[in-house]
């Protein structure tokens, strides 16, 4: 059975990804800071009949990530898929950000991916197999106001991954790397993200359920496209940015503040998870179930086209071998 590592496994997209891999027969190593969420995720893996390995880790700590990778291979076997997903963010105008906040977002959301990728490569390159999935965002290509630190980190992941992909091709390596660009999702992060907005944070509509993201991650792990964009909003945003980034700047300047917050004020005693994990089991879903889409026709169509292309490639390869 395959062995999969998922960072940010305790909540949101990571939690949905963990559940989806286990339901499809994988043993899963769970990396995150929050033990309560990790233990609950492990119970879901075991309920699916698979093995779970709980590894409380802050991915900003490279040594801790490396130790988690070593423990995973000792307990579950060689790592087949590594999913980098852990993130933190700060919703704030740039002028109000502190250097410490930007550093922390960068260390988790960008360097956490670097640390995971390096640990995966140390094991996959000698075996010449394995897949690294970088969970990205439409914001890796098109930044929005109030999320400069997070957008910067996602842009950095894109650049890092492109460099790695070129190197793997140069070396004729069969290790694969793929990036999944996600839309706005109904996850718990909006209950705990650090925010200086007057209103309660929300994902920018349209909003999708985290299971849509999980479906995309599993498909990307199996097929390893260069990049997989998820949701019509992601596709349209990236297309509009390519056509006229200046017009998109002006549009976001008008709409980007209100679209990221509710009219409901923020609780005075609200805590965030920038430095410390939230307590309890957050689960995969946030508070926006009544507004979130459970499917994406764009993703369904994209996967269908990819499946047909892969089948045709297999047929043609078989014919060439038969000659």
Q: Which residues are catalytic?
A: 150
DSSP bridge partners of 293:
208
Cα dihedral 223/227/231/233 (nearest 10): -170
- What six digits make up the tokens of 84? 């980098």
Please tell me whether residue 28 adopts helix, strand or coil conformation.
strand
Number of H-type helices and E-type strands within the chain: 11, 14
Instruction: For the sheet with 292-293, list strands across it.
Output: 184-185, 207-208, 292-293
User: DSSP string covering 143-207, please?
Assistant: --TT-HHHHHHHHHHHHHHHHHHHHHHHTT---EEEEEEE-EE--THHHHSEE--SEEE-PPSSE
Are 192 and 181 a contacting pair, CB within 8 Å? no
Please tell me whether residue 52 adopts helix, strand or coil conformation.
strand
């Amino acid at each position: 059975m395959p062995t999969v590592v998922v960072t940010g496994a305790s909540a949101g997209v990571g939690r949905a990804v963990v559940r989806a891999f286990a339901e499809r027969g994988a043993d899963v190593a769970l990396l995150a800071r929050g033990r309560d969420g990790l233990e609950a995720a492990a119970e879901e893996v075991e309920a699916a009949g698979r093995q779970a390995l709980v590894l409380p880790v802050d991915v900003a700590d490279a040594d801790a990530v490396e130790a988690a990778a070593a423990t995973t291979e000792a307990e579950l076997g060689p790592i087949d898929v590594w999913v980098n997903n852990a993130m933190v963010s700060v919703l704030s105008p740039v002028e109000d950000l502190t250097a410490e906040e930007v550093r922390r977002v960068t260390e988790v959301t960008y360097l956490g991916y670097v640390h995971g990728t390096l640990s995966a490569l140390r094991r996959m390159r000698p075996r010449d197999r394995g897949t690294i999935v970088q969970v990205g965002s439409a914001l890796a290509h098109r930044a929005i106001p109030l999320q400069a630190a997070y957008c910067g980190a996602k842009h950095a992941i894109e650049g890092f991954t492109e460099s790695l992909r070129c190197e793997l091709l140069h070396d004729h390596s069969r290790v694969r790397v793929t990036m999944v660009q996600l839309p706005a999702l109904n996850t718990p992060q909006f209950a705990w993200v650090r925010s200086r907005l007057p209103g309660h944070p929300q994902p920018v509509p349209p909003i999708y359920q985290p299971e849509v993201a999980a479906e995309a991650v599993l498909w990307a792990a199996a097929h390893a496209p260069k990049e997989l964009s998820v949701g019509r909003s992601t596709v349209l945003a990236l297309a509009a940015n390519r056509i006229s980034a200046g017009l998109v700047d002006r549009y976001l300047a008008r709409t980007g503040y209100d679209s990221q917050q509710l009219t409901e004020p923020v609780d005075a005693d609200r805590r965030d998870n920038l430095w410390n994990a939230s307590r309890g089991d957050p689960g995969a879903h946030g508070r926006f179930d009544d507004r979130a889409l459970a499917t994406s026709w764009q993703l369904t169509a994209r996967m269908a086209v990819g499946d047909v292309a892969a089948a045709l490639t297999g047929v043609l390869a078989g014919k060439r071998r038969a000659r």
